[in-house]
Chains A and B, each alone.
Chain A
């Protein structure tokens, strides 16, 4: 019998598998749900669910500790992008207060092989990434907002994902205690 993975580049296949699975999922959602805004919400929620699980995997694999500041957080998310999506986004556009920044991705594997039809301009295809960042950070006690500023699918040069720090979450008080 042939040796395993003799004929294909497994990394590339895996990336295409994720791209195509995600694409088919979005297509199904667009069919199920009338309003693109509702699809955006679903995608965000799905990403959130993935994020809260991915962060555990990330911490286990990298052994990284708590973030010292938001700059450190941005660097770690950058590492996560490289691990999971195989892309290295640039961190840029810091707000003067230092509580907002952007990830700039020049080639986004999720949107490979994807074109948005005219009537779906309201669809934020990559919303799953925003959800994933939010979910992951919530598990390390950071409350953030994340949204898409630029989108290659809508003719922009890059994909830009904005992250805004809201507040630090405190450890919850155990049930039954004041």
Chain B
């Protein structure tokens, strides 16, 4: 299957969610449905991908897996940089995030960037949730097509 299809489908998912909450115009855009769609995709796909794999050693090992194998399976490249404070905060940096590469190389359309990263935040959160890590995932875009995903693990 050609991955163009996934890109086009993703942008239609974005359009659908943006169109469906057009009523609250003056407030900040609500992308929670988009994040939730991503969450269910991540939750389901990771279950199928890791079915035959041994258990991960620890949280860091899981994150490394997300940055390498998982990211290249889905976005055809690895995360460029992984940083952590060893207290449950991880920052994943992708310098050429797939959904942004065709939009701009710089600040143009920057205000629309949140729409194109929300799905992926959900995917990461869903993936980790199914691997037993509860967390909050946010994204930060300063210059397209680069994107940083911040993962904050909830500890109990």
A57 at the binding interface (Cβ < 8 Å): yes
B1 cross-chain contacts in A, Cβ below 8 A:
11, 14-15, 18, 84-86, 109
Interface size bucket, A side? Answer: 35 or more
| 8 Å CB interface, B1-56 against A | 1-6, 8-10, 12-13, 15-17, 20, 33, 36-38, 40-41, 44-45, 48-49, 53
Are B6 and A2 neighbours in the complex by a CB distance under 8 Å? no
- Main secondary structure, interface of A, reads helix
Which of B16, B40, B77 makes the CB contact (< 8 A) with A46? B16
- Return the CB mask of A22-64 against B: 1 if under 8 Å, else 0: 1011011100100000000010001001100110010000000
B72 at the binding interface (Cβ < 8 Å): yes
| 8 Å CB interface, A1-31 against B | 1-2, 4-8, 10-11, 13-18, 20-22, 24-25, 27-29
B74 at the binding interface (Cβ < 8 Å): yes
B83 to chain A, nearest CB (A): 15
Residue of A16, A22, A24 ringed by the most chain B CB atoms within 10 A: A24
A83 at the binding interface (Cβ < 8 Å): yes
- Return the CB mask of B97-126 against A: 1 if under 8 Å, else 0: 000000000000000000000000000000
Interface size bucket, B side? Answer: 20 to 34
Q: A18-B1, A25-B37, A53-B8 are in contact. Are A13 and B68 (CB under 8 A)?
A: no
Are B37 and A13 neighbours in the complex by a CB distance under 8 Å? no
Are A4 and B78 neighbours in the complex by a CB distance under 8 Å? yes
Q: A13-B73, A16-B45, A18-B1 are in contact. Are A50 and B9 (CB under 8 A)?
A: yes
A10 cross-chain contacts in B, Cβ below 8 A:
72-73, 76
The 7 closest A-B pairs by CB, nearest first: A4-B72, A15-B1, A86-B1, A8-B73, A13-B73, A24-B37, A24-B40
Binding site for A on B (CB under 8 A): 1-6, 8-10, 12-13, 15-17, 20, 33, 36-38, 40-41, 44-45, 48-49, 53, 68-69, 72-74, 76-78
